[in-house]
Amino acid sequence: MGAWAGTAAAIDRACGAQPFVELSRDEVAERTGSPAHLAGVFEAVSATVQPALLARGLRRVALELGVDIHEHSRVTAVEPRVRTDRGTVTAETVVVSTGAWGGRNNRALAVVASDMVATEPLEDPPLAPGISCSDSRLLVNYYRATRDGRLAFGTGGGALAFAGRVTNLFEGLSPRATEVEARLRAIYPQLRDAPVVRSWTGPIDRTATGLPFFQREGNLVRGVGYSGVGVCQTLLGSRILVSLALRRNDEWSGCGLVRDPYARFPPEPIRSVGGRLVRAAVDRKERREDEGKRPGWLTNRLAALAPPVFVPAPRGSSEPAR
């Protein structure tokens, strides 16, 4: 409760805006269709998108604008030119915006899975279409209704990629479907008999601060680290990447996100082994709190090592945090 207060205060100080409306417990229960929530805020300007339609729509517009799209062309090297297993592309500037696939051997990123399940269409969905929710857990739960009346429910903090390598573990059916389904039914006990008919998993490129970063090095421009909220950040990110690619000197190329990462994760195997220990501790801590019990000392200490959702950048410094 109140986990949003710091973010709301920062927005107010920086922009003079108040995007969140605080709701009573009864109002949260009414909007979410669940009595499990203790408090909450509502952001009226938010929206939901259907991600497959978004991707296909972007592809259609790109083709209409004359962009050449080469799918299934595995990149083997990025030099002054891009080498693939099917040919070579030469360009004045190469923009790398591959999300979690940019995490390979990159200590600025941790690649972690996010897992989802979906019910069959419901006669009486607890959430109205267009309403989306996320809670204040570190292993966040997020959920929304689809146009055809399903409840799509997801949980963060899944599999951790060794050295940031995205493998088949991050594609297809979710290996955590049972765990995610249990969380769905805990928040929506009225759906205890609703069949769950789909599950899937995907990779997230997570930074230690929760913020993306953008860089230009020679003819290479990159933007990574969207930390699970890429759909809303990519509009801003695209403007930054365009300015960097065209070597413009404007508000986008000079904004605070054009920088080196402020913090880095430990090297392997410490990152993977430690990450699994910390994730297990966070899971234990949150389960104990759900049960109204106090987590143990060691669990609290290990859980405190988890990267926070958002860390403000050091003021007036471009040096990485230690």
pLDDT over threshold 60, residue 317: no
Rounded to an integer, what distance in angstroms lies between the CA atom of residue 283 and that of residue 158? 11
User: What pLDDT score was predicted for residue 263?
Assistant: 81
Percent of the chain residues topping a pLDDT of 70: 95
User: What pLDDT score was predicted for residue 313?
Assistant: 54
Over residues 221-225, the mean pLDDT reads 93
Over residues 95-103, the mean pLDDT reads 90
pLDDT over threshold 70, residue 319: no
pLDDT over threshold 50, residue 283: yes
User: What pLDDT score was predicted for residue 322?
Assistant: 33
Residue 152, classed as helix, strand or coil, is strand
- Asked if 135 and 181 touch (Cβ cutoff 8 Å), the reply is no
Q: What is the DSSP string of 31-74?
A: HHT-TT---EEEETT-----HHHHHHHHHHHHHHTT-----S--
Amino acid at 68: D
**Could you tell me the pLDDT band of residue 321, with boundaries at 50, 70 and 90?**
very low
Is 192 buried (19+), middle (13-18) or exposed (0-12) by CB count in 10 A? Answer: exposed
For residue range 152-162, list pLDDT tens digits in order. 999 998 999 99
For residue range 47-78, list pLDDT tens digits in order. 888 888 999 999 999 999 999 998 888 888 88
Over residues 130-155, the mean pLDDT reads 91
- Asked if 148 and 118 touch (Cβ cutoff 8 Å), the reply is no
Return the higher-pLDDT residue of 97 and 117: 117
pLDDT over threshold 70, residue 20: yes
Over residues 124-128, the mean pLDDT reads 87
What distances in angstroms separate CA 83 from CA 40, 184, 294, 300, one per listed residue? 49, 44, 55, 47
What distances in angstroms separate CA 293 from CA 185, 186, 286, 287, one per listed residue? 21, 17, 10, 9
Structure tokens at 315: 């003021």
The pTM assigned to this predicted structure is 0.88
Look at 53-57, 159-163, 186-190, 315-319 and tell me which has the smallest mean pLDDT.
315-319
Rounded to an integer, what distance in angstroms lies between the CA atom of residue 108 and that of residue 106? 5
- Indicate the pairing of strand 110-119 with strand 151-155: antiparallel
Rounded to an integer, what distance in angstroms lies between the CA atom of residue 138 and that of residue 286? 9
